[in-house]
Amino acid sequence: MTRMLEAKEYLKRLLKGNENFYNKDNYEEVDISNNKIESLRENQYPFGVVVSCSDSRITPTIVFNQGLGDLFEIRIAGNVMNEDALGSIEYGVEVGGASIVMVLGHENCGAVKGAIDQFEEKAEFNGSIKYVLKKIEPSVKYVKTHFKEDIYLNTIKVNIKNTLDIIYESPIIKEFIEKKEIILVSALYKSDGKVEVLEVIESNIDNQLINSLKVI
**Annotated binding residues:** 53, 55, 106, 109
Residue type, 105: G
What does the CA dihedral 148, 154, 156, 159 come to, rounded to 10 degrees?
Answer: -90
**Phi, psi for 64 (deg, rounded to 5):** -105, 5
**Annotated binding residues for Zn(2+):** 53, 55, 106, 109
